[in-house]
Amino acid sequence: MDAVIFALASQEYAGLLIASLGIAAGIALTRFVPKPARYAGLALAGVSIVAALGSMSHLVRLAALGADFPAPGEFVNVHGTRIHLIAEGPESRATLVWFGGGHAGGLSMYPFHAELRTRHRSVLIDRPGTGWSDTGRFPRTTAREADEMIAALDAAGEEGPFIFVGHSFGGLLAANIARRYPDRTAALILLDPTPPDVLMYGLDRTGLGSLETMSRSAGWRYLFGLYGFNRYTPPRNRNGEPDVLAAPRETLEALNNRAGIHFASASIYSELTPDGFAEL
């Protein structure tokens, strides 16, 4: 059921549809129920109108961000999902592929990529539900993303073999890829990865186990525009020209205004709940 809810709610216009249904239900209550209950209909219609305005402001903001922060790399199609990646550098014996901590976009590892791309082939991938990539299919799982990452590299014409580098939760993904595709793996580098023992023996509902709940809550809030209204302006390079790669952290923060990103995180973070990890 969560997969269906996440798939529907990750459509950025879903908040407007939900609010419209609330307005219609409120109007119906004011007309077709006994008088005392009509006040509930008025309240529902009023709240839904406010929610609709919040949802419209969210859509307007996303349209502006899309224009201000164009994708710097290329898109490939994997099972109907557009996945964004940046592949740079000369041909080398093995290609570096980076995965950041949490459920973060490829730019979270951009400083490493920028440093090494002059000597090695280096690739940053926005996992589905991060960065400029589509949200992708639900449920989001580490196993599914492992298959999608290999498919994305193939679609982009990157032949490998690959050195998969993962930080924190990205380390779990890198290790999963290496286990599933040993013939495509030249090496595995884990940068302070999330150890499975921590999940098995130290998982708690207020630490790692709370990431799913927090992401789910953020998704619903963002869908109705209930978040900060900071003005995001495109970073600029040394020549004063707009350049989304000049400040990767700020760019990622702007892209994270999509509600779908938070629902995708909630879906994959369900693996980090006590029940989710026990099932795995």
Convert the pLDDT of each residue in 2-29 to its tens digit: 899 999 999 999 999 999 999 999 999 8
First to last CA, the chain: 18
Convert the pLDDT of each residue in 102-131 to its tens digit: 999 999 999 999 999 999 999 999 999 999
Cβ contact 207:261 at 8 Å: no
| 35 has a pLDDT exceeding 80 | no
Of residues 253, 256, 251, the one with CA closest to residue 237: 251
SS3 96: strand
Residue-by-residue DSSP string for 156-212: TT----EEEEEEEHHHHHHHHHHHH-GGGEEEEEEEEE--HHHHHHH--TTTGGGHH
CA distance 43 to 47: 6
The CATH number assigned to the domain with range 74-279 reads: 3.40.50.1820
Name the residue ranges covered by the structural domains of the chain: 74-279
| 203 has a pLDDT exceeding 90 | no
| 239 has a pLDDT exceeding 90 | no
For the whole model, what pTM was predicted? 0.93
